[in-house]
Structure 1
Amino acid sequence: MEFDPVLIAPRRAHSVAQGFWHDRTINDDLDACVASCPDQMALTALRAESGETTRFTYRELATMVDRVAVGLSRLGVGHNDVVACQLPNWWQFSVIYLACSRIGAVMNPLMHIFRERELSFMLQHGEAKVLIVPQRFRGFDFEKMAAALQPDLPCLKHLVVVDGAGANSFEALLSGPAWEKAPDAQTLLTRHRPGPDNVTQLLYTSGTTGEPKGVMQTANTTMANIIPYARRLHLGADDVVLMASPMAHQTGFMYGLMMPIMLRASAVLLDIWEPLKGIDLIRHEGVTFTMASTPFLTDLARGVDESGLAVPTLRTFVCAGAPIPGALVEHARRVLGSKIISAWGMTESGAVTLIQPDDDDQRAVTTDGCPLPGVELKVVDADGSALPAGQAGKLLLRSCSNFGGYLKRPQLNATDADGWFDTGDLAQLDAQGYVRITGRSKDVIIRGGENIPVVEIEALLYRHPAIAMAAIVAYPDERLGERACAVVVVKPGQHIDLPTIVEFLKSQKVAMQYMPERLIVREAMPSTPTGKIQKFKLRELLLAP
């Protein structure tokens, strides 16, 4: 694969000189862990359905990483080859990324909710050489789906199945044989180690074009966020990090996979979010920190309140993805005893604004935090002129952790010559520099921290024979932040209901989380003189009593 991270070189000298880029990779940190704390618990992973728990010390983790890295090399994976991974929060996910980093390969995390439509595009666009999937997860046969996709993906040479029974199983190909003891192992493990500016992660994000965009990140860009993030939150080697948010999202990847290793700390993974299992893990593993979207915080606080099981070790909960209701902060503070930290970020940059740990709790309710070191924010009007504090406009971001660009689509990088990135969000800054996201200029709904690609779903609805016009708009939800409502105009003599729409989208292989959960049928759409649907009027309609 030829990567084109064109946004890296122009800012390298400044970022290094300012101390924002550290010119090291996750390999350096894992090696340091083995040298300084080999017998410390590095990773604990619980499978909720089976109750199976797997643990690795740092010494054991590094051995497995080297084993899988050599195994991948045996499959022909080398420098800049893409290894796609559609796994839940299993230990194999962490090991695969670290193994890719050993041999200079690029990991492409894929959400386990993705189905044929999303996967076929991402795997083709990213030219994945290897796809690693679970045999089954939550009742779905991933092996069968992936095998059906492979013939139409000429770059995809290998399908590897965790818990598989055949010759293509993860256990047979990668984690079983002691590949690390082979005579050529050290050569394979060292000859293509990536540099800090090489692409190390390819992560797709939903956009307004109807197709996902491949975000390219390097060690320097990700670590430029993780280091000041951990410092602001006073995290260190004594912390135990719980990650129940998917590691195929930047939240899970950066703060559940990479950050614990960089801190010489311990990570605890949970693959299916169940509040009581989360509470049990926090209590038995001594979890001190976690980060997730608002629904996780709601569920955890309710679970502790109803069960009476306290979580005294949980010091900090970083909540991002949607504004946090004031009542939730008050409830969570009372029953959890944790500091609730509001944050804002993007796949392209990581979490770049957080409130300070010693801020008043109201800051978490009224703002999305203030910038980390190396991060600048600017709110501008339609002409690009900076707006004063308190006025809402387009939010621009200039950050040491900004991505290297969108794969094969540099024309969409939305970054000007001075390094300002158009986030697509609307926001306002207060006099102290704290930001509040007030809306989104990009047409994306965030449901429980998961972006719904509105344009793509609308395009599919237009294919339904009964629908003349369609729009997907958000409506507020106390737990998930937002849900999706389909607003449609039907053709003369036709009828449609929500179950019919859901079944139609299922037939188009759309992920369940992307389905509209409410339907409004109208005789006509509110529109501009040019015929553009006025979605703000539809949102007002949904908010009307």
Structure 2
Amino acid sequence: MGGQPERLTWAEADASVDRLAAVFHAHGLKKDDVLVVQLPNINDLSLTYLAAARLGIIVSPAPVQYRESELGYIVGKTDAVAALTTDRIGKHAHGDMLMTVAGRSPALKHVFVMGETCPAGAIDLEPLLDAVTPKQMKAARDAMKTAKISADDVFTICWTSGTEAQPKGVPRSHNEWIIMGAGVVDAADLGHGARILNPFPMVNMAGISTGFVSWLLTGGVLIQHHPFDLQVLLKQMRDETIDYTVAPPAVLNLLLQNEALLAGIDFKRLKAIGSGSAPLSPWMVKTFHEKYGVQIVNYFGSNEGCSFPSAWQDVPDPAERAVLFPRFGEGLRWKAMLHDRISTRLVDPETEEEIREPGRPGELRMKGATVFSGYWRAPEVNERAFDADGWFRSGDLFELAGEDNRFIRFVGRLKDIIIRGGMNISSEEIEGHLMGHPAIAEAAVVGAPDERLGERLCAFVVFRPDQSADMAGINRYLTEEKQVAVYKQIERLEIIDALPRNPVGKVLKRDLRDRLGETAQA
């Protein structure tokens, strides 16, 4: 954003939250109003969450990669009355972009902008913060007292992509966030005053539960990181003497393959690292423990709260912890605090039969304190998201494993999504955009395996007669005309004569994935 790094004490943060809440209240924001926020991992993002919480405002955070298409949909779906961003993030003019969105969205009355410049019609936030009066502060405090906020009120609406063409809003209450944060603190064995380094965008389950809620619950220190830069992250790990951080499996593998990078890190203090979003290497989990005394916590998680850890307290063997998760429910007892707060079961998605024998994949279904109540203003989607008994359909396939079937092992996804660097991307969304391209007759999007990001977007494309396009041109169409986020660009283009289909016309994506596997093997 062009600003300088800043450090705040708890008292300074408290005063900043008071001023921000006063500005929100002075502009008419009240309980249950929706505020769309698009900020990177900076202190102001935490302050915004806290100021909104005091007034009962619902925060809807958007990844910094989102553009007009996604932001316009979010604003319309939530009837957001305000938005907060900065004039630029990197080279992109986010303030101007949100003003464009506001011009198309009658309900969006206020666009607060931080930074050096403020677009015409937007509200320059920082001068207002400096000019807050005692009268405004008192009025905001009075509003906090009369808002009657409960822990079951919605605190955030985060966004997730599944098989639906459009993102789905996931409302979560204070209680639902607190239980997830407590689960992180418990799994990582974090004590009071823990120093937490957070490199995950604080806009969804991974970043908010790890970075924001765990920091609050431990009364500790939150060190933010964004965008991901390995050398900066390593410097923070050395300079900040951290107790805990999180990283994708590929990054942890890379560090052990280049151990000189780990020099200078205080491993007497850094005792745990969280990871997930892709299968973990047993070698990596074992080596971090044996050489550095670091326990790797394996997380499975989703924005909907279908989330749980595999930690050393319950799965001491590193090789098992890399691939197995404790099975919660059925009277099974574990040391993890979440064990009696959530229940899981595996179900055959075709027959709805509960699976009780090992080695047979089934869809993970889940109930409990961490699981959300349903997607925002999406009754049709909710009918499909929960089964007849109220269990959330995760769309993820697991199988029973281990002694007495006490564990579950992830084996794949039922839903057609691509997880690129921890971000869920709907194949259907991208396919819908590609079908609008003048040269494309048919398209299917699948995830191409990638060591660093887990998956990258691969498009299998059938061109119209006498038409063609290259990958750069298709991506310009996606980002400029369709205005989708940059991370949703095609990263591999496969041109074919026809998409493989079954007898009823459904595209056989497994055949397309097999082609990718054969190419990689060759």
Residue in 2 that maps onto 1:257: 212
Sort the Cα spacing of 1:336 and 1:488 in 2 relative to 1 into closer, same or farther, 3 A.
Answer: farther
Q: Identify the residue that residue 352 of structure 2 maps to in structure 1.
A: 384
Q: TM-score, normalised by structure 1?
A: 0.86
Shift of 1:418: 3.3
1:408 aligns with 2:371: no
Q: Deviations over 1:348-379 (max 9, x none)?
A: 10632323346111123222555432121111
Say whether 1:396 aligns with 2:360.
no
Q: Distance in 1 between matches of 2:48 and 2:10?
A: 15
CA contact (8 A) 2:306 2:366 kept: no
- Once residues 108 and 157 of structure 2 are traced to their aligned partners in structure 1, the CA distance between those partners, rounded to angstroms, is 16
The reply to whether residue 360 of structure 1 matches residue 312 of structure 2 is: no
SS of 1:342's partner is: strand
Change (3 A) 1:265 1:514: same
SS state at 1:190 partner? helix
- TM-superposed CA distance for 1:236, in Å, is 1.8
Q: 1:150 to 1:418 in 2, by over 3 A?
A: same
SS where residue 407 of structure 1 aligns? coil
Which deviates the most, 425-434 or 267-276? Answer: 425-434
Distance 1:436 1:299 in 2: 24
Q: Within 1, Cα distance between the matches of 2:63 and 2:230?
A: 21
Equivalent in 105, 111, 114 of residue 159 of structure 1? 111
Partner of 1:418: 389
CA displacement at 1:534 relative to structure 2? 0.2
Match among 473, 480, 483 for residue 500 of structure 1: 473
- TM-score under structure 2 length normalisation: 0.90
- What is the CA–CA distance in structure 1 between the aligned matches of 2:224 and 2:133, rounded to whole Å? 25
Q: Distance in 2 between matches of 1:519 and 1:335?
A: 42
Secondary structure, counterpart of 2:184 in structure 1: helix
1:71 positional shift: 1.2
3-state SS of the aligned residue for 1:70? helix
Q: In the comparison of the two structures, how many residue pairs are matched?
A: 497
CA contact (8 A) 1:84 1:128 kept: yes
Separation of aligned partners in 2, 1:194 and 1:242: 30
> Would the alpha carbon gap of residues 350 and 140 (structure 1) be closer, same or farther in structure 2, given more than 3 Å must change?
farther
Partner of 1:24: none
- Tell me the CA shift for residue 291 of structure 1: 2.3
Aligned equivalent of 1:80: 32
SS of structure 1 residue aligned to 2:8: strand
SS of 2:316's equivalent in the other structure is coil
Measured after TM superposition, the shift of residue 327 of structure 1 is: 4.3
Work out the CA distance in 2 between the residues paired with 1:408 and 1:69.
Answer: 27
CA offsets per residue over residues 306-348 of structure 1, 9 Å max, x none?
A: 4633342321111011112334435555675421111101101
CA pair 180-292 structure 1, distance change in 2 beyond 3 A: farther
* TM-fit CA distance, 1:218: 0.6
Asked if 1:440 is matched to 2:413, the reply is yes
How does 1:458-473 map onto structure 2 within 5 Å?
Answer: 458-473=431-446
- Tell me the CA shift for residue 496 of structure 1: 2.9
- 1:2-13 to 2 correspondences below 5 Å: none
Pairwise CA distance, 1:475: 1.6
Give the deviation of 1:301 after TM superposition.
4.8
Q: In structure 2, the residue corresponding to 1:156 is in which secondary structure?
A: coil
- CA 1:179–1:439: 2 relative to 1, 3 Å: farther
Q: Equivalent of 2:456, from 483, 486, 495?
A: 483
Q: Is the 8 A contact 1:72 1:174 kept in 2?
A: no
Superposition RMSD in Å: 2.2
The aligned residue for residue 80 of structure 2 is: 128
User: Which position in structure 2 is the counterpart of 1:525?
Assistant: 499
* 2:275 matches 1:319: yes
Question: Which shifted more, 267-276 or 448-457?
Answer: 267-276
Alignment match, 2:399: 428
| Structure 2 Cα separation of the partners of residues 252 and 539 of structure 1 | 30
Amino acid at match of 1:475: A
Does the 8 Å CA contact 1:67/1:179 hold for their aligned counterparts? no
In structure 2, how many angstroms separate the alpha carbons of the residues matched to 1:173 and 1:435?
53
User: Which residue matches 2:252?
Assistant: 297
Structure 2 regions of 5+ residues with no counterpart? 329-337
Distance 2:131 2:42 in 1: 16
Give 5+ residue unaligned stretches, structure 1: 1-46
CA contact (8 A) 1:301 1:335 kept: no
State whether residues 278 and 300 of structure 1, in contact with CA within 8 Å, keep that contact through their aligned partners in structure 2: no
Q: 1:58 aligns with which of 3, 7, 10?
A: 10
Residue in structure 2 matched with residue 71 of structure 1 by the alignment? 23
- Rounded to whole Å, the distance in 2 between the matches of 1:481 and 1:335 is 26
* Structure-2 change in CA distance of 1:336 and 1:462 (3 Å): farther
- Against the structure 1 CA distance between its residues 475 and 317, is the aligned structure 2 distance closer, same or farther, given a 3 Å change threshold? same
2:439 is aligned with what amino acid?
A
1:229 and 1:213 mapped to 2: Cα distance? 25
Structure with bigger RCO (C-alpha 8 Å, 6+ apart): 1
1:116 to 68, 72, 86: 68
* Residues 492, 328 of structure 1: alpha-carbon distance in 2 compared, 3 angstrom cutoff: farther
